[in-house]
Amino acid sequence: MDLFAQVLVNGILLGGLYAVMALGLALVWGVLNIVNLAHGAFIMLGAYVSWYLYTGAHIDPFLGLPISAFVLFVLGYALQRGLLNLVVRAPMFNTLLITFGLEVVLTYLAQIAFSADFRTINPPYAGNSWQLGPVTVPVVRFAAFVVAIVLTIGMWIFLLRTRLGRAIRATAQNLVAARLYGVEPRHLYAMTFGLGLALAGAAGGLYGTVSQINPYIGGTLTAKSFAISIIGGLDNPLGVIVGGLFLGVVESLTKLYIGPTYGDVASFGILLLVLIVRPSGLLGRTA
């Protein structure tokens, strides 16, 4: 029972990180109808920005998260305004090809800049933990979980309560009506993509504090983010939290009871089941 409790806690902490990883992908997909195959590569870049800030500038990885988010926001705004806006209304296959090409280029550039070596962000408190009865809670993983949940809920409030957030939601629901109310689509699309990449940058910084990073982690992170977005539902940011927590717990329990190599099998098996039983996601609206 003690082992089960420990694995359950580990799964919940992992699920919070999964949620913020997927939030940027879900935002871009839901508003722009772009499945960003380079999303994991941008998370990887965010991790390297945090790593560089920590090793080069000695900035605590959690204090450096706003910088990582800002750097990725600027990159995302520029990419959307200068490149992706040209094909935003093209068939989805075109955007898949472009974002896949971006993923390949970013991975190659990261390999040149950082080599293929694994790197870690190890602040002085990295080995600290709290003992809650039979359960050990690592301080860094718990802090990453809290930040991830705050970011996810903050994005939900932003979309519901702010003028820009309402404009983003309106554009996602009805572009023609949004234009009639004075929304400028190109700028709004670029802002949305920038926000998606800002979340990816923050997620990368959090990921770097709990796991090793190298230029090739992007593909796996994209696949996880895609699965979580589908499982939770694209039209409800809180669904991403549910999807992330659900996937984190399932993966952890699968590794405990079946084997460490079956975590991904369970994740994508659940994705297939959700697509068959409830295609709109666990918290998505049904037709």
pLDDT digits (tens, 9 = 90+) for 148-185: 888 888 888 888 888 888 877 777 666 666 666 666 77
Q: What is the DSSP letter of 90?
A: S
Banded model confidence at residue 82, pLDDT cuts 50, 70, 90 = confident
Q: Which of 72, 29, 81 is nearest to 190 (CA)?
A: 81
Give the pLDDT confidence of 12-57 residue by residue, as tens digits.
888 888 888 898 898 888 777 788 899 999 999 999 999 999 998 9
Lowest mean pLDDT among 50-64, 118-132, 177-191, 253-267: 177-191
Strand partners, 129: 138
Domain annotation covers residue 268: no
Collapse the DSSP code of 284 into the 3-class scheme (helix H, G, I; strand E, B; otherwise coil) and give the result: coil
Average pLDDT estimate for 244-270: 83
Domain annotation covers residue 269: no
Collapse the DSSP code of 213 into the 3-class scheme (helix H, G, I; strand E, B; otherwise coil) and give the result: strand
Banded model confidence at residue 286, pLDDT cuts 50, 70, 90 = low
Domain annotation covers residue 221: no
**Does 215 score more than 50 pLDDT?**
yes
Banded model confidence at residue 287, pLDDT cuts 50, 70, 90 = very low
Report the pLDDT value the prediction gives residue 168, as an integer from 0 to 100. 79
Give the pLDDT confidence of 64-81 residue by residue, as tens digits.
999 999 999 999 999 998
Report the pLDDT value the prediction gives residue 237, as an integer from 0 to 100. 67
Give the pLDDT confidence of 217-228 residue by residue, as tens digits.
998 899 889 888
Which contacts qualify for 150-159: CB closer than 8 Å, 24 or more apart?
Answer: 151/20, 151/23, 151/199, 151/202, 152/19, 152/20, 152/23, 152/237, 152/238, 152/240, 152/241, 153/238, 153/241, 155/23, 155/27, 155/195, 155/199, 155/237, 156/237, 156/238, 159/237
Domain annotation covers residue 38: yes
Report the pLDDT value the prediction gives residue 198, as an integer from 0 to 100. 95
Please state, in angstroms and rounded to a whole number, the distance separating the CA atoms of residues 280 and 287.
Answer: 9
Domain annotation covers residue 11: no
Which contacts qualify for 161-165: CB closer than 8 Å, 24 or more apart?
Answer: 164/191
**Does 4 score more than 60 pLDDT?**
yes
Task: Give the number of domains in the chain.
Answer: 1
pTM: 0.91
Report the pLDDT value the prediction gives residue 122, as an integer from 0 to 100. 87
Residue 59's domain spans which residues?
23-216
Domain annotation covers residue 161: yes
Domain annotation covers residue 57: yes
Helix (H), strand (E) counts: the chain: 11, 2
Please state, in angstroms and rounded to a whole number, the distance separating the CA atoms of residues 40 and 107.
Answer: 10
Domain annotation covers residue 14: no
Report the pLDDT value the prediction gives residue 181, as an integer from 0 to 100. 64
